Amino acid sequence: MKLNKVRTKNLVGTLIVVSLLGIILGLRWKTWFSNLPELLYTTPDSITRLTVVPGQRMCRDVTITWRAGVKLVDGWADVTRLTKDSLNRIVYLTDKKRYKAKKQLVPSRGGIDVYYHVALKDLQPGGNYKVVVHTKSASNSDSTIVHMPNEDKPLNFLYLGDIQDISDRIAKERMNYIKPILKEMDFTLQIGDLIERPMNTYWNLVYNSCGELFKKQFIATPGNHEVIKGLIKRIDPRWRAQFNFPINGPISQLGLSYYVDHPYCRFISINSNNVDLPWQLYDQLKWLEQTLKSATQPFIIVFMHHAVKPVRSTRTHPIMFHMIRPLLEKYHVDLVLQGHDHSYARTTHPDEDKKVDFTPPVYVISTFSSKCYENGFSRAFDRMGSGIAFYSKIKITKTKIQYEAFTFDGKPTDRFALVREDRDPKLSRTNAKDALFIDQTGNLPEYLLFNQFGNSKKARERREAYKEAVKKRYSQRN
């Protein structure tokens, strides 16, 4: 009798769990597993999507990639070093070298692309190179000037959040705005969700609107909008083929999680789309720990799409928070750049209940997109912004990271510095001290302008609640 009761109890419990799982799967099926079909396309024979990314040694190695046609033919790059004469005029040195390209056929859901790339090694730090790329069947060529960062001068880069636009007009306007700034930069770091969907039309859109970003040195980490959904998430095969980031990551994430070294800083990309299956998480954590431990530079910057502490009100990410974050803190990472939330936020204490302290890592979330999400108002965030787009300029010297974030009309909204004494080479990374965090925001305003609520009764109530929360935040801060 007793046994029967226990069995019935177990059966009912199992049925409830299975039903709940069924309901959750039913509700989330589209979000987790379903992909819109990609329209069929034919890649033109002309050269497109010229992209320059650093090799593992940012000041000496670089990889140039381009796309052309649907058949594997010969491709090559002509590389000429440039210098300046006494009147500061550009002079083309005569030692033009020709490099044969590696070629790769990449089938996607809508067509076939052929990508070509050359990896240039041992270039001159601080040098400038004219690169002209060709493909046998293409009637055109394309070119760019590649600038190699200096090993012993300040390193400057732009940090951009999700781009992910569905019309290229706004992205083009923003791109035009930052073009003069881009000239002063050594490279751009983009945080994923470059595109709205893993489709040829959206890749075309981002290259049409933001092509200059790719022709200068560019680093990025994959976002969830570059993912082809399924039980096992795959990054769109075009992503890896058209960037060719260094192959120094964990086996399951080659070209997606990787690192790039400058003498002042190690930059580490974590593919945060692939941390939910146990073997992927194990692989990533093991690699991340080794990569953090072996860094010899004064600074470490980690970048990934999903945030340790999301600023969007409805989001949490337990794996980033409980599995990735402890490693970032253990190895004294200085700055963590993130995206995905289409808002701006900065914290040094993502655990909001912890006594507030201002020790690194500094976690930042940013967005470039015209698509905006409603931010939450957690006490964890020392700076926030929403309803508009932002860009950040970051300058690294041997002893300092200087960070500034702006709106796209040039108004500064966040500013801080991270300062380190010259690092004692005898100290292991775990025994290294945290950098000194200096908040320089002073009276800079926050821009909490989110207003994409809609017009239903519920939406109007949410708008009012949001306005109240903004008022409360400002009154508590003043």
**Is 161 an interacting residue with respect to Fe ion (CB under 5 A)?**
no
**Is 69 an interacting residue with respect to Fe ion (CB under 5 A)?**
no
* Cβ–Cβ < 8 Å for 143, 131: yes
Select 45 or 162, whichever has its Cβ closest to Fe ion.
Answer: 162
Minimum distance of Fe ion from residue 376's CB (angstroms): 16
Minimum distance of Fe ion from residue 369's CB (angstroms): 6
CA distance 191 to 427: 31
Select 52 or 206, whichever has its Cβ closest to Fe ion.
Answer: 206
Select 51 or 164, whichever has its Cβ closest to Fe ion.
Answer: 164
* Cβ–Cβ < 8 Å for 221, 269: yes
* Cβ–Cβ < 8 Å for 453, 460: yes
**Is 261 an interacting residue with respect to Fe ion (CB under 5 A)?**
no
Q: Fill in the per-residue mask, 72 to 101: x = in contact with Fe ion (CB under 5 A), - = not in contact.
A: ------------------------------
Q: Taking the CA atoms of the chain, what radius of gyration do you get in angstroms?
A: 24
# binding residues, Fe ion (CB under 5 A)? 6
Q: Fill in the per-residue mask, 115 to 154: x = in contact with Fe ion (CB under 5 A), - = not in contact.
A: ----------------------------------------
CA distance 25 to 296: 46
Q: Fill in the per-residue mask, 444 to 473: x = in contact with Fe ion (CB under 5 A), - = not in contact.
A: ------------------------------
* Cβ–Cβ < 8 Å for 234, 228: yes
Polymer length of the chain: 478
Select 48 or 366, whichever has its Cβ closest to Fe ion.
Answer: 366
CA distance 353 to 378: 10
Tell which positions 310-349 bind Fe ion, by CB under 5 A.
340
Select 213 or 401, whichever has its Cβ closest to Fe ion.
Answer: 213
- Amino acid at the residue 200: N
CA distance 25 to 410: 44
Select 68 or 199, whichever has its Cβ closest to Fe ion.
Answer: 199
State the DSSP code for 39: P
165 phi/psi in degrees, rounded to 5: -90, 150
* Cβ–Cβ < 8 Å for 28, 78: no
Select 50 or 388, whichever has its Cβ closest to Fe ion.
Answer: 388
CA distance 438 to 358: 8
Select 233 or 340, whichever has its Cβ closest to Fe ion.
Answer: 340
User: SS3 breakdown of the chain: % helix, strand, coil, rounded to 5?
Assistant: 25, 30, 45
DSSP 126-171: T-EEEEEEEETT-S--EEEEEEPPPSSS-EEEEEE-B---SSHHHH
One of 162, 261, 374, 446 touching Fe ion (CB under 5 A): 162
3-state secondary structure of 32: helix
**Is 193 an interacting residue with respect to Fe ion (CB under 5 A)?**
yes
Q: Which stretch binds Fe ion (CB under 5 A): 9-17, 59-67, 96-104, 187-195?
A: 187-195
Q: Which stretch binds Fe ion (CB under 5 A): 133-141, 161-169, 239-247, 251-259?
A: 161-169
Select 146 or 195, whichever has its Cβ closest to Fe ion.
Answer: 195
Minimum distance of Fe ion from residue 221's CB (angstroms): 11
Nearest Cα neighbor of 435 from 355, 381, 378, 359 is 359
Tell which positions 213-232 bind Fe ion, by CB under 5 A.
223-224
Minimum distance of Fe ion from residue 225's CB (angstroms): 6
Query: Which residues of this protein are in contact with Fe ion, per CB under 5 A?
Result: 162, 164, 193, 223-224, 340
